[in-house]
Amino acid sequence: MSYAIVYNSRTGNTELLARAIQEALPPEDCLYFGRPDPKALEAEVIYLGFWTDKGRCDEESARFLQGLTAQRVFLFGTAGFGGSSSYFDQILDRVRGELPPQAEVIGTFMCQGKMPMSVRERYEAMPESPRRTAMLENFDEALHRPDGQDLAEAKAAVLRAQ
């Protein structure tokens, strides 16, 4: 079955997942790999990777998803906050909302992705509070993500969805 891996990645985290997913799939069936582009729409299965922006997928990914018709879709993404799977579920629900009703979601995967140091500096400038501490801890936990385990889990999720 032909497939396309389409992703938007501002700082490279989602691109790491896209490249891992590419390794897990048969190269001969790959129609397209890269940024959102109408060329990808010809594929039967679309692996769409987004970064999280204000609790939803980034705008370029949203626009691409809105342009799908009846493809099968695997959604993957990264988010700076990764403490709970219910947080990822909320984001994924919103991302599914961008899809036309005929598109079928065959699987999903999300993991934490590191954030720029400027974000940590912003947290550091905040007055001491439990929230500030939690945000700094979350930032530091994300520093090496996606890690090897995330990439292995992304591959496994894709293979399960075959």
Ligand X SMILES: Cc1cc2nc3c(=O)[nH]c(=O)nc-3n(C[C@H](O)[C@H](O)[C@H](O)COP(=O)(O)O)c2cc1C
Q: Kindly tell me which of 2 and 141 has the beta carbon lying closer to ligand X.
A: 141
Task: Annotate each residue in 55-84 with x if it binds ligand X (CB under 6 A) or - if it does not, as one string.
Answer: x----------------------xxxx---
* Position of minimal CB gap to ligand X: 113
Displacement of CA 85 from its chain's centroid (Å): 14
26, 27, 54, 101: which one contacts ligand X (CB under 6 A)? 54
The residue (of 74 and 81) whose beta carbon lies closer to ligand X is 81
36 binds ligand X (CB under 6 A): no
Contact residues toward ligand X (CB under 6 A) are: 9-14, 51-55, 78-81, 113, 115
